[in-house]
Amino acid sequence: MRWRNTEKSSNIEDRRGQQMASASVPSALLLRLLPFLLKTKIGRVVLLIGGIYLAFQYFSGGLSFDPSTQANLSESQLALTSAAQDENAQFVAAILGTTETVWSQQLKGKYQEPKLVLYRNMTSTGCGMGQAQSGPFYCPADSKIYIDLSFLDELKTLGAPGDFAFAYVIAHEVGHHVQNLLGTSTQVRQAQQASGKVEANQLSVALELQADCYAGIWGHYVNEQLNLLEAGDLEEGIAAASAVGDDRLQKMAGRAVQPDAFTHGSSAQRVKWFKAGFNSGNIARCNTFAAD
């Protein structure tokens, strides 16, 4: 992609240097309240739960009990993750900038730009605690996209390397923001609450496939109007859509393919709807809820 000379979005919130410091808050709070918690039965239960939580964070690598090490790591992270010097962060800002251009045109007068949060390992969100192992995600409660840049390595592991593959992922999450603005996300959540598990999963699949279609619409205009795509870019996007299909991920996990358990759609479905958006550039072509 020819992204380096594009206008970078200013809607980037970089928390990567804050992760270690913020992780120490629960332990400090428990230590301060320790004398009071030990006095009552409820307090001892709270202490036990807190201890289990901290132990989990420690052994999963999300928490350090060494204050000096923690401070040093925080300083080094701040030095290493400056958005102005970090190419991956610059890439994210550039792609987010292109989504702002495209969707401001598509939703004239209605588009509200989302914030994109860069973080490491875990961070607090309006939808609860976000964790890198879950991959990039959008939180409708705070209208923010959350990305741990380690997902770039995950994409390579899944067989989907390349800058346009990662750009597709960002555009997909922005697609969820578009759904939130249009009220689609709210309607789906309400329908899911009144549905059984299988039907709720089907609604989730339709929502995800529509976000894929919206990512394709972004790709259409990035190619036709901004002329940012190079040879092989489209194939990278298709490979990324295929790589994160539910059936493929189930197979990679050593499980039998179970369509009723799909929440994002099969590889074929994800590629189909990404192409539908890319080829048409038309939001009306993204009605995944009426599809067979």
> How confident is the model at residue 270, as a pLDDT?
98
Q: Say if residue 195's pLDDT is above 60.
A: yes
State residue 209's pLDDT score.
98
What is the pLDDT confidence band of residue 48, given thresholds at 50, 70 and 90? Answer: confident
Q: Which two tokens stand for residue 107?
A: 């939703």
Residue 82 has pLDDT above 70, yes or no: no
Q: What is the pLDDT of residues 198-226, one digit of tens each?
A: 999 999 999 999 999 999 999 999 999 99
In tens, the pLDDT along 98-149 reads 999 999 999 999 999 999 999 999 999 999 999 998 899 999 999 999 999 9
pLDDT for 58 equals 47
Residue 45 has pLDDT above 80, yes or no: no
Max avg pLDDT among 29-43, 57-71, 179-193 = 179-193
pLDDT at 18 (0 to 100): 78
Instruction: Provide the pLDDT for residue 39.
Output: 59
pLDDT recorded at residue 19: 47
pLDDT of residue 64: 38
Confidence band (pLDDT; 50, 70, 90) for 89? very high
pTM (global) more than 0.85: no
According to the model, what pLDDT value does residue 55 have?
59
